[in-house]
Each structure stands twice: as structure tokens, then as C-alpha cells.
Amino acid sequence: MAAARDRQKSYADKRRKPLEFQVGDKVLLKVSPWKGVIRFGKRGKLNPRYIGPFEILKRIGLVAYQLNLPTELDGVHNVFHVSNLKKCLSDETLIVPLDEIQVDEQLRFVEEPVEIKDREVKQLKQSKIPIVKVRWNSKRGPEFTWEQNSIDEALKLLGSHWSIKGSLELITINTPPLEATKSLFPATLGAAKSLIQLHSSDLEHLSPGPWKNAHATFYGGSDGVDSMGGACGYEDIKQKGYGVQNTALSQTLFNNGQTCGACYEIKCVNNNQWCKPRSPPLIVTATNFCPPNLNLPNNNGGWCNPPNEHFDLSQPSFLQIAEHKAGITPIQYRRVPCARQGGMRFTITGNPYFTMVLVWNVGGAGDVTCMEVKGHEGVKWNTMSRNWGQKWVTNVVLVGQSLSFRVRASDGGTVTSLNIAPRNWQFGQTFEGTNFK
């Protein structure tokens, strides 16, 4: 065995050339695409990609080089083994522009599944495993891997607010209980025969849910100025892009500020005298809190008392669906996806020992249930605490570091914005990151 191994090594060494570079050469840096959905099975790598080119500043020892990296890679150590480098004249199809991806400190970026191209059932000795051929949103051409999958796992992954495209028909999941969603699939549409599109930017994270009954009132003047602040911390909501189509929520719906930023579709019902016929759908954003009045009964003045689900609309919003004289009217409402322009915004305030971040212009579900921050010097993400509304705080010292944010919405979707605030950020500044689709 040893002799055979030595012969093999000698044969390989004769044909192997050491890879060397000179100071000033331009090289490409290898990055690793990672699967963006781990519910299929193990999280793993896809074929490597390259970013650059970058200039070599210095040779370190025999097999390492120091590179001149841009500010977008401040969190990455700039010395690399030669195996991570590639000559700049390499295959251009492997090169990914740095502005198209977000690379973490371990030189990884996420590629997400686009669709399932094929299905098979792998036969083992005592069991059968359904597997699917997944196409990933590779930055340079299609890439496929075989993954484990099942209808149950897909439903758990997507949740009750996602829509699923099946191979026999388009099936939209709107019913919250998981058992109820299973009944929507034909018996013949099993795990091995499903065609499910799972790309996060194409799926409806929050498909419009079932209509629910409630009541609506209005507050403020006809110009909507009185609704410009609010208990969600958005301050000037017109400047933040929410406009006058906003609402305050009763205590039950407000849920201690967790619902701030959520979007609702509202229609006036069961009130022929005051409902405006053929009025277009009203979409409003939750930006304020309607406090309870426990001195009044729930059905006569205490509209926002728990457990009532009540909307106190801005007056311009109310007048889109009902007459001013109505005062209060029965409505039906449902959660809908929020359509926002541009990226998610992060406004940083506080002091060197107390950092507060207001997150706004959130698409998709609209609300934020968890927020994390990380400076480029840190290894772990720091979970922030909700201060009030959508203002999140941490006592971790972050001054002088480029900042990354990770946000999770109520539908389970998560987006990461890497190094969007440079090292010289200042309190009072706003930075734009990745948004939900």
C-alpha cells in the first residue's frame, strides 16, 4: 500500500505546478455559496464562485498572500491561503460582482432554491426516501442538487401564510392549522410527485388571509396630520413613506407593538346607510396604538378595550370606505403583504453605550418580531430588545464598527443586511439594507 501511494504521489507531483503570485498581481478570491433553505436536509455548499479582482499587497510566507480588500469586506481578514485565490484570467462565468451578493466574514453568501425540477424516490433496504432535484438561484448559471423533501416538510417550511405551486394545480395555503392545509392536496399528489416553488422572492410570504369581522372609527383631521406620529416610533410617517393610509390598533391587535408595520386590507360591510358602495380596497399600515377606555363598555365607547379587534383609522382612510357621519362602522379585515419601495431602513440613535435602531419600510409581512446586530469585530450576532414599537436597543458597544443587521418577520422570513453601516457611521444616520420581497 505504501509503495502504491508513493508512486501515485510521485506521478501527481510531476504534473503539479506550484501556484505563485507577485506583489501587484490581480487575483480572484473564492467564496462559497450556501444553501438558503436548510429544511430540505443538511445545510451545505454549492459550487465555489469568485469575487474580485483584488490586488496582492504582500506575500506572507510560502503559501499566503495579503490582499487589498474594499470597504464592503471590512469584516474579512485580508490574508488568504493560495488555495483560495485564482488568476484573474480565469473563467469569467465564475466571477460574481461584489455588489450582487452579501459576503459574511467566512466568505460565504446564500443562494436560495428557485424551483424543484425533478422528483424521485430513493429505495433503501427498509424504507423509501423521496428526493427532489432543486435548482438554486446561482449568480452565474443554473446549479442543481438532489435534496430530501416531503410535503410535510415543505408545509412546515412555508407555514400557513405561503402559497405552494403544485404539479397538478396552484394551491394557496390560507388556513392556519397545518392539518387543514394537508387536506387541500389530492391524495395522488404525494411527496415524490410534488412540484413546489420555494424561492423567497417569488412566494407570497403572507398571502391574504381569511376575512375577519371588526369595527372601525377614525381620529384626527381630514388632512391626516394628527396621525403622523404614533406609538410605533416611526415619528414622521409621511416622511417614512407610510402616508395617510394608516391605522391605530386596539390593544388586542397592537400586541405591545409587535404588529407595528403590518398591513391590512379593510372594507366597510353591513352598513348600507354609510358604507361607500364600490369603493376600492383600502390598504392601511399599523402605525399607532388605540388605548382602551375601561370606563366605557366595549360596545359603546370602549371600542379599543380588550378583547375587541378594532381599527381607529386616520380620517382620510376612513373616508375612503365610509361617510364621515357614520362615526363607527362594521368592517371586515385581513392581513396582506406590504408593498414597499426600496430597501429596509435602519435609523441609528443613542450614545456610545446604548444603541437604538428604528427599523422601517419593511416589506412582506411588514412587522418585525426579532432583530439582531453585529459589528465587524464580533463573531456572534447580538439579539436586540424591543424598546417600544419598532425601536430596538442593545448595550453592546458598536461605535467604530461596520454594522450588519438580521431581521425576522412574523411569517418566519429572515433577511440579513451585511456591513450596510460603515465604520464611521454617526448617530442620527439612516442606512438602507435588504428588504423582504
Q: What is the mean pLDDT of each run of 10 residues along the chain (437 residues)?
A: 77 66 87 48 52 88 88 79 77 51 52 66 74 65 61 40 32 34 33 31 55 94 76 87 91 94 94 89 93 93 94 94 94 94 95 94 94 89 94 94 95 92 95 91
Q: What is the CATH number of the domain that holds 301?
A: 2.40.40.10
Q: Is the residue at 382 inside a domain? A: yes
- The residue out of 311, 335, 359 marking a domain boundary is 335
Same domain, 354 and 261: no
Of 293, 310, 335, the last residue of a domain is 335
pLDDT at 69: 87
- For residue 198, being part of any structural domain is answered with no
**161 falls within a domain:** no
193 domain-assigned:
no
pLDDT (0 to 100) of residue 112: 57
What is the longest distance spanned by two Cα atoms in the chain?
97
Q: Tell me if 185 is assigned to some domain.
A: no
Q: What is residue 47's predicted lDDT score, i.e. its pLDDT?
A: 55
Position 389 in a domain: yes
pLDDT tens readout for residues 323-349? 999 999 999 999 999 999 999 999 999
Predicted local distance difference test score (pLDDT) of residue 143: 62
Domain limits for position 41: 19-109
313 and 293 fall within a common domain: yes
Give the residue from 73, 72, 82, 74 showing the smallest Cα distance to 25. Answer: 82
* 256 and 368 share one domain: no
Which CATH number does the domain housing residue 58 bear? 2.30.30
Question: Which long-range contacts does 301-309 make (Cβ < 8 Å, 24+ apart)?
Answer: 303/215, 303/217, 303/250, 303/328, 304/248, 304/250, 304/251, 305/250, 305/251, 306/250, 306/251, 306/252, 307/252, 308/214, 308/215, 308/250, 308/252, 309/212, 309/214, 309/250, 309/252, 309/253, 309/333
Report if residue 374 sits inside a domain: yes
Does residue 151 belong to any structural domain of this protein? yes
- Report how far residue 263's alpha carbon sits from residue 233's, in angstroms, rounded to the nearest whole number: 16
If asked whether residues 231 and 295 sit together in one domain, one would say: yes
**Residues 93-122: pLDDT tens digits?**
555 555 545 555 555 545 556 666 777 777
Do residues 225 and 312 both lie within one domain?
A: yes
Q: How many domains does the chain have?
A: 4
